[in-house]
A = this chain, B = another copy of it.
């Protein structure tokens, strides 16, 4: 007779074993290692919350210290492999297989461990792809998660950095997996500011030895924004935001988009664009957006995660930010990704390397850093069916085939620091992918998804090109004296300008002589604090006063 409840039976056994180390759902921190040894089984698929920002590091450190003779062969699902103990798991033989989305600071070590055969990579995903697979062919047996506070019934307050916790919890709680959560504090139910995840989804909670690790990934110090970033920002505002009347958008992280954020209340205001562009945002609470918010540019912001130091500010601006009834920020990566994919006019982000077809990658140093979330934002979603003015402005096709298009804008400086060209014949990613045995090169954003490229030379309106040859010529026209740019032919460039495939600053009435730091609404972190009326609390590494 067929058994239809093997997962449930296994879950029941795991819970029974785990309860020996817990009082109800509450685990004694000193017994966490015992619990993990007894709840997790060799060969299990284990999702460990390493998000883009927050890290369930009490759980990961404890798991990495487990006995590999008892716990081994684990298949880890870690969206952001960013802590050394994530890889210690493999070195110690506790885990051997890894599915991930992003490696970041561990990318060099991970590449070496793949080469040594210590880590077997299932696949490298974007964040939401990895979560999607948890509901299809990578259902986790055990998930190790992270919260601000829990009560004894397992109700969780995830706070400003909700990020991915509800999604991973759902994958386990609703398919007979076990949900184990570390919390910064275990409190009485009445003391929970709000419940983000119901206790009936949670099996065990443990008070962490120290607050979970959180990285301030979205803070850019305005002091590092120079005239070239400012010029690119001016070009983008006139040549993209104003031209297409971009109302809803996502900014990638980086100094280029930070410069745009800081130019809205100055340059944007002078152009009379307030209220006409950039009203609805999907992005983490970028500190550099504070001046635009305070100047009344921003109607709403929905966030993938939080940002260190921004919690008091976000709580004081609930008309703009999504907050709970308790007043604190709510973030949710899956819903922000949904919003960013289906409900906005534009994605704009920086790229480190772009080839002649406008394929781009952030892999430039031989490291396999993964994808994160950019590919999901940086493509035209073919499942979209509603219109907006900006989307229709890029309409293409005839008859039944006619439809609009999301603006996918890449910003880049023709040369990076040290005179390294950004525009290259072949992406480094091609070689890195080959070396790592990947089935395809790890391209971040594909050229045919890119509608515009902005450099300090001007804008290439790639979406207007009728042929691949025109696309390449338009891109070359803004690529400066890089290997790609040197192929540009002056006569042809004039034709492309006439036909609207390329615009230089003078075509956009951008006065390059104005591109200096006096245009920045804030020139330092201290300025941002002042703009916030003291509500922004920058992390220590960004303070020098």
Contact = CB atoms under 8 A, between A and B. Distances in A.
Given A334-B338, A385-B126, A443-B400, A5 B319 contact: yes
B385 A338 contact: no
B399 A441 contact: yes
A197 to B, nearest CB: 7
A357 B400 contact: yes
A186 to B, nearest CB: 17
Nearest to A126: B385
A28 interface: no
B325 A200 contact: yes
A380 interface: yes
Mostly, the A contact residues are loop
Contacts of A247: 137
Interface in A99-148: 123-126, 128-129, 131-133, 135-137, 139
A255 interface: no
A195 interface: yes
Nearest to A379: B382
A541 interface: no
Interface in A424-455: 426-427, 429-430, 439-443, 446-449
A175 B395 CA distance: 33
B132 A440 contact: no
Given A2-B296, A198-B195, A280-B137, A401 B446 contact: yes
A2 B533 CA distance: 13
B135 A339 contact: yes
A246 B132 CA distance: 17
A462 to B, nearest CB: 14
Contacts of A378: 383
A218 interface: no
A276 interface: no
Contacts of A299: 137
Given A318-B5, A440-B404, A382 B449 contact: yes
Given A318-B5, A338-B132, A300 B139 contact: yes
A332 B317 CA distance: 31
Given A7-B318, A383-B375, A173 B125 contact: no
A66 interface: no
- Most interface-central of A128, A199, A201, A343 (chain B CB within 10 A): A343
A324 B400 contact: no
A127 to B, nearest CB: 10
A392 interface: yes
A199 B282 CA distance: 27
Contacts of A19: none
Interface string A213-244: 00000000000000000000000000000000
Contacts of A129: 342-343, 383-386
Interface in A148-199: 155, 167, 170, 173-176, 194-199
Smallest CB-CB A-B distances: 3 pairs: A379-B382, A123-B386, A195-B198
Interface of A: 2-8, 123-126, 128-129, 131-133, 135-137, 139, 155, 167, 170, 173-176, 194-201, 247-248, 279-280, 282, 294, 296, 299-300, 302, 316-320, 322-326, 330, 332, 334-336, 338-339, 341-344, 355, 357, 359, 361, 371, 375-387, 392, 395, 399-404, 426-427, 429-430, 439-443, 446-449
24 contacts: A124-B386, A126-B384, A129-B343, A129-B384, A131-B338, A132-B335, A132-B342, A132-B343, A133-B343, A136-B280, A136-B282, A136-B343, A137-B299, A139-B300, A195-B200, A334-B335, A375-B384, A379-B381, A382-B382, A382-B449, A392-B439, A401-B443, A403-B443, A404-B440
